[in-house]
Amino acid sequence: MDFNHQSGSRPSSPPQSGGRGPGGRRPRRRSRFEHHAPRHAPRPGPGRPAPRRGEAGGSAPRETRRLVRQTGEHKRGERLERRGMSRSRSMPIPPPAHDTVRIIPLGGVEEIGRNMSLIEFRDDIIVVDAGVQFRDDDTPGIDYILPNASYLEERKDKIRAVLITHGHLDHIGGIPYILDKIGNPPIYSRLLTTVMIKKRQEEFPHVPPLDIRVVEKEESITLGELKVRFFSVTHTIPDSMGIIIETPYGAIVHTGDLKLDHLDGVPSEKEEKEYTIFKNMNVLLLMSDSTNVERPGFSIPEPLVHQNIEQIIKNVPSRLIIGTFASQLERIIKIIEICERYNKKVVVEGRSMKTNVEIVRQLGLLKTHPGTLISAPEMAEFPPDRVVVLATGAQGDEFAALMRMANKTNKFFKITNRDTILLSSSIIPGNERAVQKLKDNLSRQGAAIIHYQVADVHASGHANREETIWIQNRINPKFFIPIHGYHYMLRVHAAIAEARGMRPQNVVIPDNGMVIEIERGEKIVVRREQAPSSVILVDGFSIGDTQEVVLRDRQMLAEEGMFVIIASVNPKTGKLRKSPDIVSRGFVYLRESQELLGQTRLIIKKTIEDATEHMRPINFDYIRGAVTDAVGRFLFQKTNKRPMVIPVLIGV
């Protein structure tokens, strides 16, 4: 028997696409960076001429092109291209001149997450952060998105260190995937960040051990020809720091993520003291966080959030369940201290939350009396008004602790009308529907819900507009590169710098992979060449530049479903052995679509038998394409949907 299906002989078009032309088989959209080489038509079989333009197997007819445009596929392709999934490899980049400082943001300037930048001077490269970005609608099924470190892989002998500003995953999450590829250079970070990196590294026993070294603020180290110093910044996690890299032309200041500790818009004495280090410093370049710069005024101070949460813990009449980010360590520490003050027992629920609480206890950042922290089964031993639960899942994560409580799948928790739920986090863009579903499910069970839109129970860890102005005035740089945010955020940040008097030609709004150079400390320019910037995807055990067609197929399956045809063909006569079998998922309900299926079977039979007439031997690749075209066109006409059509032809 000859099993000629998609996993067998090589088809004439990418098998992932599931077909060709108007019949659900979407031709791969070329990137504008690719060569426009013609696509190859299927090989004609003996006795059959090569298909003409407009026929099955040839170039797509005008109707096909029109239908493809109607589906919006080209829009999805453009989104992926803008994200860098279709960018071709950049042209070679020469080393910087002897009197030039080179800066390349490798990630974090076209998105929130995967923060990574490098500073290169002569024979030394210093890398700042190595984070991940979480998947979104354009990357279905992906675990993480990484910055593209190809530029560093080609120059690993010049890398002197990786400096980590703080312990959030968008700054440390890429370390297990990237460090080995760039030569495993030493990592410098503060104590808590170091412990969090080591803890995460335990999940990757196959990678080489890290060379990680603890530094603290006001320390200085020498990396090649460059001296590096550190200073403390305020963020939502302890031990956050900024970095000062001293060059012969002035200092490069990288702030990491930051905000100001303030009271009613007046920065605290601690902040005033910390920023005095810049008073007489010649700052050549500032690279600073742009996440919240479009928000006016000052951010909500974290002490105010602590006060409001304390009042809720003190006055709530029954059990209190607090959902927040596991990375909000300063707030988590404060909540546990407040609970202990009011003789409350704390249950920590969620793997990441438990891990982080254990880390801060080991480091002495959290000191509790015996019995303050209890396990979920021990809750029943105490009155409900003496129990506070700290849980992950305030973003509506499907498998997080709070969502499992809402879905009644957590065996230790049953939500009642006596419970109060405090969501101490804002909603990350894209999670609105998931958070609403979480709130709906909790409220259906009678729980009272408090969230940041009705009370000041959450504060961002990023500086608002007026904080940004204060920071820029204290650092007073000659040149400015906004980082950490979407392009619009970076542009707003640049406008703030220009409004305070910086010349527009001294400001560069970067893209990922942009090669920026400061020449002799006098002029900032953008080179014509670009470092590789296509995104690197962690997809299960696969790490790399996942093909655009794979992501497009996942989107297509999610939006339109699939339609599988299994047909047994006599290889001698080209006739069907029996009526073809059809399997549909996510397209139509087969039991209620018998008329449609019957018409489809007739089209399959006619297409195969017409195409195989006088064709010996039978070209199954060609026949498969013809079936895909015909069936896809028919289904689109009948349903206005374009499922992925996958014909499996078996020669028997």
Which residue from 127, 25, 40, 109 is spatially nearest to 71, judged by alpha carbons?
25
Of 458-472, 486-500, 631-645, the one with minimum mean pLDDT is 631-645
Q: What is the 3-state secondary structure (H, E, C) of 469-535?
A: HHHHHHHCCCEEEEECECHHHHHHHHHHHHHCCCCHHHECCCCCCEEEEEECCCEEEEEEEECCCCC
- Rounded Cα gap, residues 506 and 508, in angstroms: 7
Give, in order, the Cα–Cα distances in Å from 482 to each of 25, 433, 488, 495, 592: 43, 31, 11, 10, 56
Which amino acid is present at 285? L
Which amino acid is present at 648? V
Where are the alpha helices (H) located in 62-117, listed in sequence order?
62-71, 73-82
Looking at the DSSP bridge assignments, the partners of residue 241 are 232
Is the pLDDT score of 214 beyond 80?
yes
Would you state the pLDDT for residue 71?
A: 40
Question: In the predicted model, what is the mean pLDDT of residues 179-208?
Answer: 95
Would you state the pLDDT for residue 547?
A: 56
Q: How does pLDDT run across 633-645, given as a tens digit for each residue?
A: 999 888 888 888 8
- Rounded Cα gap, residues 91 and 392, in angstroms: 45
Number of other CB atoms surrounding residue 245 within 10 Å: 23
Say which DSSP state 384 is in. G
Of 31-35, 86-90, 587-591, the one with minimum mean pLDDT is 31-35
Is the pLDDT score of 355 beyond 70?
yes
Taking the chain, what is the end-to-end CA distance rounded to the nearest angstrom? 5
* pLDDT, greater one: 121 or 565: 121
Would you state the pLDDT for residue 548?
A: 56
Is the pLDDT score of 32 beyond 60?
no
Q: What is the 3-state secondary structure (H, E, C) of 456-480?
A: CCCCCCCCCHHHHHHHHHHHCCCEE
- Rounded Cα gap, residues 645 and 580, in angstroms: 14
Which amino acid is present at 358? E
Is the pLDDT score of 499 beyond 50?
yes
Would you state the pLDDT for residue 644?
A: 85
For residue 214, give every residue at least 6 positions away whose Cβ sits within 8 Å of its Cβ, in sequence order, or none. 188, 189, 190, 191, 194
Would you state the pLDDT for residue 5?
A: 37
How confident is the prediction for the chain on average, in pLDDT? 84
Which residue from 567, 564, 607 is spatially nearest to 585, judged by alpha carbons?
564
For residue 617, give every residue at least 6 positions away whose Cβ sits within 8 Å of its Cβ, in sequence order, or none. 45, 46, 571
- Rounded Cα gap, residues 197 and 163, in angstroms: 12
Cβ atoms of 241 and 230 within 8 Å: the answer is yes
- Rounded Cα gap, residues 105 and 268, in angstroms: 32
Looking at the DSSP bridge assignments, the partners of residue 246 are 227, 251
Is the pLDDT score of 340 beyond 60?
yes
Of 293-307, 427-441, 539-553, the one with minimum mean pLDDT is 539-553
Cβ atoms of 108 and 125 within 8 Å: the answer is no
- Rounded Cα gap, residues 615 and 122, in angstroms: 66
Would you state the pLDDT for residue 588?
A: 80
| SS3 at position 228 | strand
Looking at the DSSP bridge assignments, the partners of residue 645 are 563
- Rounded Cα gap, residues 61 and 41, in angstroms: 13
- Rounded Cα gap, residues 527 and 101, in angstroms: 12
Record the tokens describing residue 191, joined without a space: 């104590």
Q: How does pLDDT run across 153-170, given as a tens digit for each residue?
A: 999 999 999 999 999 999
Going by pLDDT thresholds of 50, 70 and 90, the confidence category of residue 377 is very high
Q: How does pLDDT run across 316-328, given as a tens digit for each residue?
A: 999 999 999 998 9
Would you state the pLDDT for residue 68?
A: 36
Say which DSSP state 180 is in. G
Question: In the predicted model, what is the mean pLDDT of residues 388-407?
Answer: 90
Would you state the pLDDT for residue 7?
A: 35
Would you state the pLDDT for residue 551?
A: 60
- This prediction has a pTM of 0.75
Looking at the DSSP bridge assignments, the partners of residue 480 are 286, 507
Could you give the domains of the chain?
A: 2-82+547-651 (3.10.20.580), 100-297+460-543 (3.60.15.10), 302-451 (3.40.50.10710)
For residue 118, what is the enclosing H or E element?
A: strand 116-121
Helix, strand, coil % over all residues of the chain, rounded to 5: 35, 25, 45
For residue 199, give every residue at least 6 positions away whose Cβ sits within 8 Å of its Cβ, in sequence order, or none. 355, 359
- Rounded Cα gap, residues 526 and 518, in angstroms: 9
Would you state the pLDDT for residue 545?
A: 60
Would you state the pLDDT for residue 574?
A: 85
Question: In the predicted model, what is the mean pLDDT of residues 479-502?
Answer: 96
Is the pLDDT score of 26 beyond 60?
no
Cβ atoms of 387 and 372 within 8 Å: the answer is no
Cβ atoms of 12 and 39 within 8 Å: the answer is no
Would you state the pLDDT for residue 650?
A: 86
Record the tokens describing residue 514, joined without a space: 């942009």
